[in-house]
Amino acid sequence: MKTIDELLTEGVAGRRVFVRADLNVPLDGTTITDDGRIRAVLPTVAKLAEAGARVVVASHLGRPKGAPDPAFSLAPAAARLGELLGADVAFATDTVGDSARAAVEGLTDGQVAVLENLRFNAGETSKDDAERGAFADRLGELADVYVGDGFGAVHRKHASVYDLPARLPHYAGYLIATEVGVLKKLTTDVKRPYAVVLGGAKVSDKLGVIDHLLEKADRILIGGGMVFTFLAAQGHEVGASLLQEDQIPVVKEYIERAKERGVEFVLPVDVLVAGEFPDMKTKAPAHPATVAADAIPAGQMGLDIGPESRKLYASKLTDTATVFWNGPMGVFEHPDYAEGTRAVAQALIDSPAFTVVGGGDSAAAVRILGFDENAFGHISTGGGASLEYLEGKTLPGLAALEG
């Protein structure tokens, strides 16, 4: 995989460099609530601009249905990118139309333009190779060189991620190079003991990564809504908690495989429960009760790991050399159910291990709960991409850059 440093050595002054970024930031109306992904691509964009490239930044945002939708406009992200660069950034109101062509043609050396949301064109996400390829052809007309730096999208076989690199000289940006280097430390160059902390709502979302990590990890800690399927697999009642009954046989198999391989599965010993899901708009006090994990009352739902579980999980991370964390321990967005996730984050900071926060809700939790991002070894920008890499899958965007 060629990197941006090789491109810079070749020279980029006056060349149109298409940067596939991940500007898929959360918005409250037109206000960006977390600009982490914009900051993550900043080194690549700034370096190219500094070297005299005419930089064309493109990204998706949200899931529009292949047509323009103002709610998913990249205009706020383009404005924020300009603020971070300390320079004017042109914004095209379409992807490959008149506005895009004018914005790119208007660039001088060292200037930056951002195209409108790529997913406003159905060709970006089409499963039809010809339709996707046709869109890639039109994007290719806007550039001389391709730099892939949208790690959060590399697991998607989309036109700007997979097809476009085949049409242009292509290189990996700083973010993707860093992410791949980190993931190799979790798969092929692992320092032990190696602990994995997995949370989130559904166990089905994590089955593939659990299956693969059973061959690699020494210890797997389970939290979040997915924990209740594990508890049910051990024969415990889980009340009204989130439960995927159809996954119980698979979970039982994983628990047995873990025993055979000497992999320690760690489940909570207590949980916070309530009779209803908390009000996420008002964040009104929820008054949860703490109960043993094997004694959840009927009609009560588990919404976070309890105080004893927090201590247990922290203790399981103190002697590690490598830790990967993906998924919150509870409904961390509500203050009454944030302490489990907070405890795991603090344990990673306190651990001497190389710590990786695997993107998605975990990365959001780190920021929302006020932790210093620099206190972790690495915070990934791509939750889904990180998980698929750890499952051993071929990621289309990385394969395209290696081709």
For the chain, how big is the Rg over CA atoms in Å?
A: 22
Residues with catalytic annotation? Answer: 37, 202, 360, 384
Tokens of 268: 């909570």
Distance CA 168, CA 253 (A): 46
Query: Using CB atoms within 10 A of its CB, is residue 294 exposed (0-12), middle (13-18) or buried (19+)?
Result: middle
Task: Tell me which residue of 225, 381, 227, 358 sits closest to 303, measured CA to CA.
Answer: 225
Contact 19, 58 (CB under 8 A): yes
Task: Tell me which residue of 360, 44, 25 sits closest to 178, measured CA to CA.
Answer: 44
Contact 22, 59 (CB under 8 A): yes
In degrees and rounded to multiples of 5, residue 54 shows phi and psi of -100, 100
